[in-house]
Structure 1
């Protein structure tokens, strides 16, 4: 197994080149101390301001909603877009909550349903692939779960080593460790030894280890075959979970029963299967999903980019 390198704090992080990063981390910590309702209100405002400055991101959100929900009225999509912009700002605070809140404060704001499914797998000594989607509050969901049952998260190390250190510390606060997304051997070892591994197969990761499968109204969405690789090699359980912030501001993390009928040794059909799970998770709260990611940027050979509306072919 490839050894997992844990980021360490270095004296060089105090150099001027990293002062900006340290200031950002300091601000995140201070923001996490504010009353919860104040954080939500400030987050919404920051989201709206940020999207005015990053108009391309707003265009991406709008386009993704058009592609996924063509049968939805323009007014309905616009409502989701506006809420999504608010939630993008709140996500900054939710990340700070996940990294800096005490266990007691996290437990106060998050209710977990379905933990009995995890306990049953634990008694069997069976590994669990915790299938997530990139909801805006995923960081807080992982932290809340980790307080009850630790696991291992799959992540991409940040190119800024100073930020990567704080990111690692925050994300592993209530979990056992993090695994570099390129370290497949470490994921397989964890699952084979009965561990829980957080895994989000919902983004477009490019053509390597991928296939094209339907996702909502898009018939050919580039989908990672990593789920097949992990399940086929370990016979682990697949456990979907969702994290939703209700209208009252309280979060509910729902752990579903392990799914059945996963197409073994068939990456193409498995991608179709996984995308159905992804769809259900997103629909739990569409406005809290990370629509600002260009989910359909990778196209089959010969197809035009879907993010150029005038050139986009019918799907």
Structure 2
């Protein structure tokens, strides 16, 4: 559970200042916003040494067959993508539908629409790409779904994010509210869920991700089994200042009785889509933080 502690007056002032700047930036042409985001990305590459080390480690592990130059290029492009994401997020909160609606091309939405017409519970399976937030915002303009989230520790940011979630999504469910999620699925709702971050070993098993054992939550398989929900993958990519949203057909023969097999399948599915635009995945997260017994830490 995330506890919100009081923040200092200085941090509150700086948070509000950044929010004001973010709101102002949303008023600019979107192509100009992207250019600002790229500049922020270059700045992050220089100053965010800890995150750069994490991204470097992850990319060296995941793409060990690449040349050093290729891996360095992914890192540079990754931080540019991160910078753009800082510009995308204010658009998720304050961007108008009329301004955003032409930014997305959606492929395969019929798979989601058919299952929703049948009142089937749906786990809308996604992954942590740098443009995850705006991808969800864009899809929500075309289809209703619930969203799972982790509350932010900064109460000012959390209030802004909460207001946006209430406005954009049918229902927002805290990551800890498992019973609410299961009930929603059993009642025939769609829940957007991304299981690909390392939140510890509880309810997780080690599953290959780019050939490296990664602690992976088994919730996708467990939730699908308990609720009877379909699992429909939803991935996205950023192409210049536009977004391609791809919804795949429901997974067949899922879940099985083998939770390891199910989890490996989910990781492989995510891995395949990361390979399409590797710089856009959130490599600055410690995906390989927890290690199997007797293995040394990687960071």
TM range (shorter): over 0.9
Which of the residues 183, 195, 205 maps onto 1:201? 195
CA apart distance, 1:194: 1.2
Larger deviation: 238-247 or 81-90? 238-247
In structure 2, C-alpha distance between the alignment counterparts of 1:41 and 1:252, rounded to whole Å: 19
Q: Paired residue for 1:242? A: 235
Cα pair distance change 1:163/1:274, threshold 3 Å = same
Q: What's the secondary structure of 1:173's corresponding residue? A: helix
CA apart distance, 1:171: 3.4
Specify every segment of 5 or more residues in structure 2 that has no aligned partner in the other structure, as ranges: none
Cα RMSD after superposing both structures: 1.9
CA apart distance, 1:173: 2.8
Structure 1 length-normalised TM: 0.89
Which of the residues 120, 129, 132 maps onto 1:126? 120
CA apart distance, 1:16: 6.6
Q: Is the 8 A contact 2:224 2:255 kept in 1?
A: no
Q: Paired residue for 1:43? A: 37
Specify every segment of 5 or more residues in structure 1 that has no aligned partner in the other structure, as ranges: 1-6, 308-315
Q: What's the secondary structure of 2:284's corresponding residue? A: coil
Q: Paired residue for 1:221? A: 214
Q: Paired residue for 1:230? A: 223
Instruction: Say whether residues 1:180 and 2:174 are aligned partners.
Output: yes
Aligned residues: 295
In structure 1, C-alpha distance between the alignment counterparts of 2:271 and 2:44, rounded to whole Å: 27
Instruction: Say whether residues 1:157 and 2:151 are aligned partners.
Output: yes
Give 1:1-315 correspondences, 5 Å limit: 18-218=12-212, 220-247=213-240, 249-307=241-299
In structure 1, C-alpha distance between the alignment counterparts of 2:275 and 2:114, rounded to whole Å: 27
Q: Is the 8 A contact 2:88 2:131 kept in 1?
A: yes
Q: Is the 8 A contact 1:69 1:217 kept in 2?
A: no
Q: Is the 8 A contact 1:133 1:282 kept in 2?
A: no
Larger deviation: 203-212 or 16-25? 16-25
Q: What's the secondary structure of 2:208's corresponding residue? A: strand
Q: Is the 8 A contact 1:147 1:175 kept in 2?
A: no
The runs of at least 4 aligned residues of structure 1 exceeding 3 Å deviation read none
Q: What's the secondary structure of 2:185's corresponding residue? A: helix
In structure 2, C-alpha distance between the alignment counterparts of 1:259 and 1:142, rounded to whole Å: 20
In structure 2, C-alpha distance between the alignment counterparts of 1:154 and 1:143, rounded to whole Å: 13
